A and B are shown apart, each in its own frame.
Chain A
Amino acid sequence: MGTGEKERKKNRVKFSPSGIAGILIRKIIGVHKKYGMEWWIMIAGIIIILFTVYMALFPETLSPFDPLDQNAGPQLSPPGPVNPLGTDNLSRDVLSRIIHGSRTILGIAFTAAVLASSIGITLGLLSGFAGGITDRILSLIMDSIYSFPGLILAITFAAMLGPGVINITLAVSVTYIPTYFRLVRGQTLSIKEEVYVEAAKAMGAGRAVILARYIFPNIIATVVVLFSMNIADAIITEAGLSYLGLGLPAGVPDWGMDIALGKRFLPSGSWWVITYPGLMVVILALGFTMLGEGLAELLNPRLIEK
Chain B
Amino acid sequence: MKHVLKYIITRVILTIPMVFILLTFVFIILRIMPGDPVSAMLGAHAPEYVIQEKKEALGLNKPVYIQYVEYLAQLARFDFGESMIFKQKVSSPIIEKLPATIELGIFGMLFSLVIGIPPGAFAARKRRSLPDFGIRLYGNIVWCIPVYWLGLMLQLVFGIWLDIFPIAGRTGTKVFPSLFERTGFYLIDTLITGNITAFLDVLYHIFLPALTLGIYLSGVYIRLTRANMIDILKSDFILAARARGIPENKIVYNYALKNAFIPILTMMGLQFALLIGGAILTETTFSWPGMGRLLLERIYSRDYPTIQGIIVVFALGISMISLIVDIIYALVDPRIKY
A residues apposed to B, CB below 8 Å: 37, 140-141, 143-145, 147-152, 155-157, 159-162, 232, 236, 239-240, 243-244, 256, 259, 263, 266-267, 269, 271, 274-275, 278, 281-282, 285-286, 289-290, 293, 306
Contacts and interface: CB of A to CB of B under 8 A. Distances in A.
A214 to B, nearest CB: 32
Contacts, number: 125
A256 B17 CA distance: 36
A271 B34 contact: no
The interface residues of chain A, by DSSP majority, are classed as helix
Given A162-B35, A275-B153, A285-B144, 10 more contacts: A152-B276, A159-B300, A236-B146, A271-B156, A281-B146, A281-B149, A286-B140, A286-B141, A289-B140, A293-B140
A76 to B, nearest CB: 15
A151 B291 CA distance: 14
A172 to B, nearest CB: 13
A144 B21 contact: yes
B25 interface: yes
Given A266-B160, A278-B152, A152 B296 contact: no
Nearest to A235: B144
**Which of B144, B227, B322 is most buried by chain A, counting CB atoms within 10 A of its CB?**
B144
B113 interface: no
B152 A140 contact: no
26 contacts: A143-B18, A144-B21, A144-B22, A145-B21, A147-B18, A149-B280, A149-B314, A155-B280, A155-B295, A155-B296, A156-B26, A156-B29, A156-B30, A160-B29, A160-B299, A162-B35, A239-B149, A240-B281, A243-B149, A244-B281, A244-B284, A244-B296, A278-B153, A282-B144, A282-B145, A289-B144
Given A156-B299, A289-B143, A141 B21 contact: yes
B144 A232 contact: yes
**Which of B148, B156, B227, B318 is most buried by chain A, counting CB atoms within 10 A of its CB?**
B148
A151 B152 contact: no
Contacts of B72: none
Contacts of B330: none
A268 to B, nearest CB: 9
B85 interface: no
Nearest to B141: A286
Contacts of B277: 149-152
A148 to B, nearest CB: 6
Given A152-B311, A156-B307, A144 B17 contact: yes
B110 interface: no
A133 to B, nearest CB: 14
B295 A282 contact: no
A282 B141 contact: yes
B146 A243 contact: yes
**Which of A149, A271, A306 is most buried by chain B, counting CB atoms within 10 A of its CB?**
A149
A162 B21 CA distance: 24
B315 interface: yes
A37 B273 CA distance: 32
Given A151-B280, A152-B280, A266 B152 contact: yes
Interface residues of B, number: 48
A306 B227 contact: yes
A281 B227 CA distance: 27
A149 B152 contact: no
Interface string B117-160: 00000000000100001000000110111101100110110001
B320 interface: no
Contacts of A269: 160
Q: Please give me the 5 A-B residue pairs with the lowest Cβ-Cβ distance, nearest first.
A: A160-B33, A278-B149, A151-B277, A285-B144, A149-B277
B230 interface: yes
A156 B35 CA distance: 12
Interface string B24-62: 011001100111000000000000000000000000000
B299 A157 contact: no
A151 B281 contact: yes
B274 interface: yes
Contacts of A152: 276-277, 280, 295, 311, 314
B273 A161 contact: no
A149 B149 CA distance: 19
B70 interface: no
Given A161-B33, A306-B231, A266 B25 contact: no
B222 to A, nearest CB: 14
Contacts of A271: 156
Nearest to A157: B29
A266 B29 CA distance: 36
A281 B156 CA distance: 18
Contacts of B153: 275, 278
A54 to B, nearest CB: 20
A140 B314 contact: no
A155 B279 CA distance: 14
A159 B167 CA distance: 27
B274 A149 contact: yes
Given A143-B18, A306-B227, A149 B273 contact: yes
